[in-house]
Amino acid sequence: MVPLLLVLLLALILFGAGFALKALWWIAVIVLVVWLVGFFVRPAASGGKRGRWYRW
């Protein structure tokens, strides 16, 4: 009985981790797209000067 519960618990943990990792990948892709858009839009909006759109 205990090994069966351990296998089910392991499967539940791995399923949760897989879902979390997939969600983190989508968040990373969205952040990358926003960064790229800001990277290319800011210099054009600042009158051609080579300005940074971030503060760090």
Q: pLDDT averaged over consecutive 10-residue blocks of the chain (56 residues)?
A: 86 86 89 84 59 56
Question: 51 near 42, Cβ under 8 Å?
Answer: yes
Length of the chain: 56
CB atoms within 10 A of CB 11: 10
**Contacts of residue 51, Cβ cutoff 8 Å, sequence gap at least 6:** 42, 43
Look up the pTM and report it.
0.56
Distance CA 19, CA 13 (A): 10
Q: What is the pLDDT of residue 17?
A: 86
Q: Among all chains, which residue has been given the structure tokens 């926003």?
A: 34
